[in-house]
Structure 1
């Protein structure tokens, strides 16, 4: 099987909605309590496109018979504005989800890599990850592999499925060719 990371299209929103619905109804990974409709997902896609922020899908080419390949969207990732105030315009939050049964295959790595590159190209300087601390360390490990560091913890800020949930905040600087680094590394004295 081969994977293609590409921009999401309106034709992908039904699959995106189905992937998300699993996490909303069956897990604590998202604080959403009701799945979004395909119309809501279409608005999210249109909003990210209007802002110039990436919204990507992972598409697998699955061979069924020789010379017959069918593509299947098995994950998505997008960047969202971190906060609405203008001074935050160079900071974004990432979102990455994979269809059940497709974790552990490097798809999350491929999506996050492309998302970080696309976000940097869009002018994002800092990427924030807000991770529900449910005891599954997969998302934290993925973000650590990409150089995210812990920035803080919010305790018992969400309640879902009868359980109080913390969120772990992680962040990472992104390189952008025209914006100065707000925290440059000091140059050693000769």
Structure 2
């Protein structure tokens, strides 16, 4: 599959909204219950970009088939060198390398921006495709939170994985 991985554009918001809506309604890759509308998704995209994080789109034959972004892992300043990633692929297109292409570029973009650690929060341990994808890019299991969320009538576990970026913990920040 020939893909173009590029920075997100405002014209991508309807497709991003549709991909995410399916995840909210049908799956547990997000623990959100209510599907955001396009205006809400547009604000989310703008918030990620305005904070200086990368937000990427995967396009195949003129159609958006996936997206990925990094965002703050936690709000407190001590976490400012750590990002959390999100990767979503349109239903029916998983397993064609879209997620891998997005994650590879996302890692590179985060390293270029000087981030040191990337965390993946995966919707449950039986999401083996996401776990394998992250392992392929050097993520290691940090732990599993048992019964941490409730969705679709059941308690859900959450997998946490981590990958070192750039120099990792090799040196101290210059602002301390």
Q: TM-score range by the shorter chain?
A: over 0.9
Task: Say if 1:29 and 1:134, in contact at 8 Å, map to a contact too.
Answer: no
Q: Which residue of 2 aligns with 1:21?
A: 21
Q: Does 1:86 find its partner at 2:72?
A: no
Task: Say if 2:7 and 2:55, in contact at 8 Å, map to a contact too.
Answer: yes
User: What TM-score results when the alignment is normalised by the length of structure 1?
Assistant: 0.86
Q: Does 1:117 find its partner at 2:102?
A: no
Q: Which residue of 2 aligns with 1:73?
A: 64
Q: Does 1:100 find its partner at 2:91?
A: yes
Task: Say if 1:57 and 1:77, in contact at 8 Å, map to a contact too.
Answer: yes
Count, aligned residues: 171
Residue by residue over 1:3-52, the C-alpha shift from the partner in whole angstroms, topping out at 9 and shown as x without a partner, is 10001111101100000000100111210111111112111221121121
Select the residue among 160, 169, 172 that pairs with 1:182: 169
**Unpaired segments ≥5 residues, structure 2:** 172-176
Select the residue among 127, 133, 137 that pairs with 1:136: 127
Task: Say if 2:125 and 2:159, in contact at 8 Å, map to a contact too.
Answer: no
Q: Which residue of 2 aligns with 1:2?
A: 2
Which stretch of the first structure deviates more once superposed, 163-172 or 127-136?
Answer: 127-136
Q: Which residue of 2 aligns with 1:54?
A: 54
| SS state at 2:127 partner | coil
Structure 1 runs (4+) greater than 3 angstroms displaced? none
- CA distance in 2 between counterparts of 1:90 and 1:49 reads 16
- CA distance in 1 between counterparts of 2:55 and 2:74 reads 18
User: What TM-score results when the alignment is normalised by the length of structure 2?
Assistant: 0.93
Select the residue among 133, 136, 154 that pairs with 2:145: 154
- CA distance in 2 between counterparts of 1:73 and 1:47 reads 20
Distance 1:145 1:107, change over 3 A: same
What is the CA-CA distance between 1:136 and the residue it aligns to? 2.8
What is the aligned-residue RMSD (CA, Å)?
1.3
| SS state at 2:25 partner | helix
Task: Say if 2:5 and 2:101, in contact at 8 Å, map to a contact too.
Answer: yes
